[in-house]
Amino acid sequence: MTPGSYEAAVEAASGGGVVAAVEPGSAAARAGVHAGDVVVWVDGEAVRDVIDWQWLTTEPRFEVGLADVLGDRSVIVDRAWDEPIGVAFASTLFDGVRECDNACSFCFVSQLPAGLRPSLYVRDDDFRLSFLSGTFVTLTNLTDEDLVRIREQRLSPLHVSLHAVDPEVRRRLVCPTVDDVALERFDQLVAARIDLHVQVVLVPGVNDREVLERTLAWLAERTTVRSVGVVPLGFTAHQARFARSFGGEGDAAVVLDQLAPWRARMTAERGVRWVHAADELFLAAGRELPRDEEYDDFPQYENGIGLLRAFTDEWDEALAGLRAAGGLPGAGAPTCTLVTGSLFAPVLESLVERGGPALSACRVLAVENRFFGGNVSVTGLLTGTDIAEAVRRDAGTGPYLVPGIVLNDDDLTLDGVAGGDLAALTGKDVRVVPYDAAGLVQAIADISGAGAP
């Protein structure tokens, strides 16, 4: 590297990426890369995140600039074309998460109570996370340099929270603290042939009905918009702006009826349903979920759309598989209680009933979310406090099966309760089990002593 370029690369990469582990015998290990090293550049180009790392290390031979407590050095990595490099990083983004510049009136993070883990208050709005993990971004903080990078590295698809295209409605909803150039940026991404999956958070009386119709029409004109997810406003009791969403049967039915013609039109024009309604809208309206094939390979799955259909189908398949293998409990099996959120409880009860005698010993405990309040009812947002209180007050018998979706990677609920402490807090047999359908069915079978062959 030229004199001074190392310092420039360090500054551009904000310190570089910390190597968490190196696979023994790998190309990186042979080159002399060690856990604890900081990757600053590759072939003189600053490395800002794992995307840059993957982009810059496609050749079989490249130079890596490293820093550690002893100083700066560089190594040459040589590998076969099909050989993994062997480096794992401590974080995905090396220069920090880009946060949101907006003050969205419906922002869920702004509705959280005080005293939670600091990470829960981070309002990320980073296009790199949108590409890597499907998080939705507003595009209001996207720069010209970002656009160049997205085009060059083909960061597609991206996931965009749009909500509305009417300028006045956007000001009311998004409340940007900078110039709102999101629609302009959106069209620049379309021109660059970047695939886009769009989210519309529907707020009663603000961006529904006619406003939603105009938004869908605007999006339908843009061919790289691959899917649109329409989800109802979620609100907690820790705010004063909202008191209702689309939880009523009539309100939810209106939304579903409005989307139906669009789904028919786009099926005829593009061969996909294109716009998908949130699962909770079907539950609220008392309507059957769409069939598996009507979800277009589930492009909005990370947005919570299609989760119930996938769970239901997997449940039936798991039951059929265990039944055929003789691995389901029989008559007289021990009682177990399935703990879940109030939204999913009726669905789970119906699935248990469909299991027939094999699941007759199972019961469902619906836990109300008192911690967040409002209309928060999904299982993944249950806290340890609410789970423990519900189990403690329940008159049933255990074991109580708590889905692992309520825990993070550190085994903690949103309010900091360890999963392993739930039994002690309740004085009952509480077990954390997989939250996928196959895992839950297997956990029930294991309790009975039948298990799987």
CB neighbours of 138 closer than 8 A, spacing ≥ 6? Answer: 100, 102, 104, 125, 160, 161, 174, 182
User: Which of the two residues, 178 and 54, has the higher pLDDT score?
Assistant: 54
pLDDT in tens, 217-245: 999 999 999 999 999 999 999 998 899 99
State mean pLDDT over 404-422. 94
pLDDT tier at 332, thresholds 50, 70, 90: low
pLDDT at 258: 98
What domains appear along the chain, each with residue ranges and CATH number? 5-89 (2.30.42.10), 109-305 (3.80.30), 310-448 (3.40.50)
More confident: 121 or 397: 121
Selected residue with higher pLDDT from 75 and 357? 75
Q: Give the residue, 372 or 356, on which the prediction is more confident.
A: 372
CB 211 within 8 A of CB 218: no
The separation between CA 429 and the C-alpha centre of its own chain, rounded to angstroms, equals 30
pLDDT tens digits along 136-188: 999 999 999 999 999 999 999 999 999 999 999 999 998 777 788 999 999 99
Please tell me the distance from the alpha carbon of residue 126 to that of residue 139, in angstroms, as a whole number.
Answer: 9
Query: Could you tell me which residues come within 8 angstroms of residue 189 by beta carbon, excluding any fewer than 6 positions away?
Result: 139, 147, 150, 158, 196, 224
Helix (H) or strand (E) holding 276: strand 275-277
Reported as a pLDDT band with limits 50, 70 and 90, residue 11 is very low
Please give the structure tokens belonging to residue 282. 């079907």
Residue appearing with tokens 């199972």: 362
Instruction: Please give the structure tokens belonging to residue 208.
Output: 């529904």
Q: Which of 178-192, 199-213, 354-368, 412-426 has the lowest mean pLDDT?
A: 354-368
Structure tokens at 89: 């990083």
| pLDDT digit string, tens, across residues 255-302 | 999 999 999 999 999 999 999 999 999 999 999 999 999 999 999 998
* pLDDT class of 305 with cuts at 50, 70, 90: very high
Tell me, yes or no, if the pTM score tops 0.85.
yes
pLDDT of residue 19: 96
Q: Which two tokens stand for residue 373?
A: 């309040």
